[in-house]
Structure 1
Amino acid sequence: MPLWLVAVETRTKFSNSNISLLTNRGFASSSSPSNVKHLKQIHAKLIRNGGILDILTAGKLIADIAVSNPSNLDYAKSVLTRLGYPPNTFMWNSMIRGYAHSPIPREAIFFYHQMLEKGFSPNNYTYPFVLKACTQLMDLNLGLGIHGTIIKRGFEDCDVFIQTSLVSFYASCGSIAIARQLFDRSPERDVTSWNALIKGYVRSNRHMDAISVFRAMQDRRDVQADEITLLGVVLACTQLGALEMGSWVHAYIDKNCVKVGTSLGTALVDMYARCGSIDVAMALFKGIPERDVRTWSVMISGLAINGLASEALDLFLEMQRDGIDPDSVTFTSVLSSCSHAGMVEEGLQILGKMGNFYKVEPTIEHYGCVVDLLGRAGRLDEALGLIRRIPLKPDVVLWGALLVACRAHKNVEMGEMVAKEMLKLDPYHCGAHVFLSNVYASTGRWAQVEQVRSSMKEQGIRKPPGSSLIELGGDVHEFLAGDRSHPQTSEIYMMWDEISRLLSLEGHVRSTNGVLFDIDEEEKEQALSQHSEKLAVAFGLINTRQGAAIRIVKNLRVCDDCHSAMKLISKIFDRLIIIRDRCRFHHFKDGSCSCSDYW
């Protein structure tokens, strides 16, 4: 009889003490070098006393090594391959688990296939780890195959962990409809299942659905929201600009005594800042006991997009005094702040110090912020010169920053050149096509206009529709340009007619400056009055009390006409109107805007 079989059948007299030794030290959750050293010492002892021949002891050792740290997986593999007898299912699962949580999840799939090839049957503990690897790889086809095997082996409906893993996998890969079907079919749903679905909806930009799932979760007595749940819901509120809902979630956190760690605290700061409630964001930021670089970066970014550039730079300096080194994200926020405020010299100085002083190499995103900074200030030649001398290959976003500046400063010649450069990189870029079409139209080059428009039609290129969101009573209402689908459509258009009359009395003349660059227009010139944010503000004026702030989230840049109209509306109706467009916040009050018309 082979030595390994004798060992498995008879075990050794040291088996129980060896397993106790491994368990008591608690190495499975530790990754420090000293504890890895202890594991190696125990491994050596097991070899000396024969304990390594005991399959249970060896399995515990492999498991502890595999999950201790991804860097130890090669060591775990070497122990597995040198056992002298076939590994059992527990050992295979340990290796699959370790690799599934490592930077190389493909190895988990390799071990799964090895397990099958060597005749071992996976159990219900195997598949959550295999699906975790598929999720890490974002490989839908691979996961579909695994799902088929799970059904074939009869595991799909008998294990809550497998069901949760399937929901998480499909949700992460964008197949949110399948994830929802699996979730609804699950007889048992733990908090991880709910979290997977909420996270999937957020990833799919279906933020209202994420909030709806959270609300449904509140009706259940068998599950309690945890920090991961709340992180997902807060992020959904942030994207929607749903301050009322976000504030309710914050109150829920306080009421249920949920511990607010750095991650959740940072998410709440970001939510308040991106909903335009910058004072609450700052107060919350100051109350977080442990602030990491992301917390500081989020607060700096919040100040920047709300037009508080000086405060953002002051916080940047305070961050360094507090001993926190800025990272790449921090510099994006700081440079963006300089751009929105026209602080050209300050921005150029910060870019110049990034590599040498801060030891953070500028990325294409940082150069894009500075191109935008120079472009907004009208220094187009300098912006173009920067693009041509940077050590990185310019991408479509970098050229796009200059294209926006060319539109704003009516530099048609440079804009035409930039648009063509963008189309070399992305032939389907809508903004570049529309810019060229409008440039040609403005100079009477109708044959070229037709050529561009025909090309767009053939390639199926369409500009994104303008959309505005406004929250009322915990519900988010969406308006598209020219929208007539809302139940209050008649009242909304009647209200806008009255607003238009009052605007005319104030001397408002419609601005059509955006015609030369269609990226920030939603309709033709004659449809200016039906822009989505105008419908949203009319809805807000109808449905909110006098003096209440109106908050709107816009998916595109606010056009010149809407911007000038909102300033007057804030004065006429004595309202604070806050609009978050895709670039920044505009706080309209008493006939003026926080951006000082520099956007």
Structure 2
Amino acid sequence: MIKRSIVSTTTRIRCCFSLQRRNSSSSSSSSSWNSRLRLLAKEGHFLESLHLYRTMLLSGHSPDRFTFPFAIKSCAALSLPLSGAQIHCHVIKTGCLFDPFAQTSLISILLVCYNALISGFTLNSRPLEALALFRRMRRTGIPFTVVTMLSLIPSCALPMLLGSGMSLHAYNIKFGTDVDASVENCLLTMYAKCGSVGYYVLMSNIYVEAGNLDGVARIQGMVRERRLKKEPGCSYVEHKERIHLFLAGDRLHPQAKDIYRMLDGLEDSVKALNALKDGNGDTNNGSGEGDDIVMAMGVHSEKLAIVFGLLNTKAGEEIVVIKNLRVCGDCHWFIKSITKIVNRAIIVRDATHFHHFEDGVCSCNDYW
């Protein structure tokens, strides 16, 4: 049965391309092109479908209301928002924008575009933009999917955005996507990062009341899993095709003496910079709190990696550091300060976000 299906599909595709070669002349009708597009899209040959659509345009044939659904479906399946946007322009030019077939198919490519943008904002520590885009998406009537939620929920893994995260949770319950295991795990991770471990208990109780014993078991398994020993923090930076790895308090690197010497100088400069901001000679309004922050930070791995980068790169070069854990608040504050001092752009990719530091500010606006 499977062999027969494969042979049938192969035969149909070969016939399709045979037709394409024979009917490339101007005598080929729009219905012939549409039939071949439909066949390719239906069989899942989306790349070939788009190629045929472009061949149709190059041959001088104008697409119609029956052409666009198959071409747009192929763009959505391949997650090609730019190609989808081009076809959207063709829809407008041919006067098919208000055709129900075209409108329905356009929703699928718009969803791909929104999901890609939301994911980009979340990964680059811009949660407010991600949430604003989701609200715009809802206002325009575009339905969200599990992919949307998996891209958006991590942006709310901050205490000050917990309310927005709970609203997303409500959306998932309302539309039934909360039963997806990936979404459920994403929500629990969000609550845990916000310090709301009690939500594990709350969700477990909800499952108990609903008589969902499988849900209870999943929650209990996640709780046990999150009691594992904490992974040690480390950071690395690439230089001259070599990876330089640093642990917290690391003194084994060949340039350790130079790194710590420069780090001491930067810490003094950070204290002086913040003292000038206060205008009274003492950091943080004379309380000495800024000095305490610098001392309390210890020598976290990202600081060592950044200083190594400063020592071994030219002035003005961007420094990129990868860290396996979430960057702490004190180091985040420290990195913002040194970008002002050394006039360098620094990118730190931690466990959840890209942080783009430049001129004393971070792309995440201190939400991460």
TM bracket (short chain): 0.5 to 0.7
Aligned AA (1:498): G
Shift of 1:386: 3.7
Look up the match of 1:532. 301
Look up the match of 1:339. 157
Name the CA shift for 1:560/1:323 in 2 (closer, same or farther; >3 Å): closer
Look up the match of 1:572. 341
The Cα offsets for residues 246-273 of structure 1, whole Å up to 9 and x where unpaired, read as: xxxxxxxxxxxxxxx979986xxxxxxx
Shift of 1:377: 6.0
The Cα offsets for residues 411-462 of structure 1, whole Å up to 9 and x where unpaired, read as: xxxxxxxxxxx4xx3597114xxxxxxxxxxxxxxxxxxxxxxxxxxxxxxx
Indicate conservation of the 8 Å contact 2:237/2:309, yes or no. yes
Look up the match of 1:348. 166
Look up the match of 1:500. 267
Instruction: Give runs of aligned pairs for residues 260-275 of structure 1, distance below 5 A.
Output: none
The Cα offsets for residues 447-484 of structure 1, whole Å up to 9 and x where unpaired, read as: xxxxxxxxxxxxxxxxx332212234565433333444
1:389 aligns with 2:206: yes
Q: Secondary structure at 2:232's aligned position in 1?
A: coil
Look up the match of 2:235. 468
Aligned AA (1:558): V
Name the CA shift for 1:387/1:537 in 2 (closer, same or farther; >3 Å): farther
Look up the match of 1:205. none
Indicate conservation of the 8 Å contact 1:552/1:580, yes or no. yes
Aligned residues: 262
Name the CA shift for 1:377/1:561 in 2 (closer, same or farther; >3 Å): closer
Equivalent in 274, 281, 297 of residue 115 of structure 2: 297
Name the CA shift for 1:570/1:512 in 2 (closer, same or farther; >3 Å): closer
Name the CA shift for 1:318/1:595 in 2 (closer, same or farther; >3 Å): closer
The Cα offsets for residues 159-198 of structure 1, whole Å up to 9 and x where unpaired, read as: xxxxxxxxxxxxxxxxxxxxxxxxxxxxxxxxxxxxxxxx
Shift of 1:395: 5.1
Look up the match of 1:164. none
Equivalent in 246, 250, 263 of residue 479 of structure 1: 246
Look up the match of 1:403. none
Indicate conservation of the 8 Å contact 2:81/2:112, yes or no. no
Name the CA shift for 1:381/1:308 in 2 (closer, same or farther; >3 Å): same
Look up the match of 1:454. none
- In the alignment, the residues of structure 2 paired with residue 316 and residue 427 of structure 1 have an alpha-carbon distance, to the nearest angstrom, of 30
Name the CA shift for 1:338/1:582 in 2 (closer, same or farther; >3 Å): same
Name the CA shift for 1:510/1:362 in 2 (closer, same or farther; >3 Å): farther
Q: Secondary structure at 2:305's aligned position in 1?
A: helix
Indicate conservation of the 8 Å contact 1:364/1:394, yes or no. no
Aligned AA (2:183): H
Name the CA shift for 1:482/1:379 in 2 (closer, same or farther; >3 Å): closer
Instruction: Give runs of aligned pairs for residues 24-103 of structure 1, distance below 5 A.
Output: 27=8, 29=10
Indicate conservation of the 8 Å contact 1:471/1:477, yes or no. yes
Equivalent in 129, 133, 147 of residue 311 of structure 1: 129
1:287 aligns with 2:54: no
Look up the match of 1:430. 229
Name the CA shift for 1:500/1:356 in 2 (closer, same or farther; >3 Å): closer
Shift of 1:510: 4.5
Q: Secondary structure at 1:564's aligned position in 2?
A: helix
Q: Secondary structure at 1:29's aligned position in 2?
A: helix
Shift of 1:539: 1.5
Look up the match of 1:509. 291
Length-normalised TM-score, structure 1: 0.36
- In the alignment, the residues of structure 1 paired with residue 198 and residue 305 of structure 2 have an alpha-carbon distance, to the nearest angstrom, of 39
Larger Rg: 1
Aligned AA (2:148): T
Name the CA shift for 1:377/1:485 in 2 (closer, same or farther; >3 Å): closer
Indicate conservation of the 8 Å contact 1:304/1:340, yes or no. no
Name the CA shift for 1:499/1:395 in 2 (closer, same or farther; >3 Å): farther
Q: Secondary structure at 1:430's aligned position in 2?
A: coil
- In the alignment, the residues of structure 2 paired with residue 294 and residue 264 of structure 1 have an alpha-carbon distance, to the nearest angstrom, of 9
Equivalent in 534, 558, 561 of residue 330 of structure 2: 561
Aligned AA (1:29): T
Length-normalised TM-score, structure 2: 0.55
- In the alignment, the residues of structure 2 paired with residue 362 and residue 314 of structure 1 have an alpha-carbon distance, to the nearest angstrom, of 25
Aligned AA (1:388): N
Indicate conservation of the 8 Å contact 1:293/1:326, yes or no. yes
- In the alignment, the residues of structure 1 paired with residue 346 and residue 220 of structure 2 have an alpha-carbon distance, to the nearest angstrom, of 30
Equivalent in 363, 366, 376 of residue 183 of structure 2: 366
Indicate conservation of the 8 Å contact 1:307/1:341, yes or no. no
Give the root-mean-square deviation of aligned CA atoms. 4.5
Name the CA shift for 1:427/1:593 in 2 (closer, same or farther; >3 Å): closer
Indicate conservation of the 8 Å contact 2:316/2:343, yes or no. yes
Structure 1: give runs of 5+ residues left out of the alignment: 1-21, 33-226, 228-260, 267-284, 400-421, 432-463, 514-524
Name the CA shift for 1:491/1:341 in 2 (closer, same or farther; >3 Å): same
Structure 2: give runs of 5+ residues left out of the alignment: 14-46, 48-73, 86-108, 274-282, 284-289
Q: Secondary structure at 2:320's aligned position in 1?
A: strand
Indicate conservation of the 8 Å contact 1:468/1:480, yes or no. yes
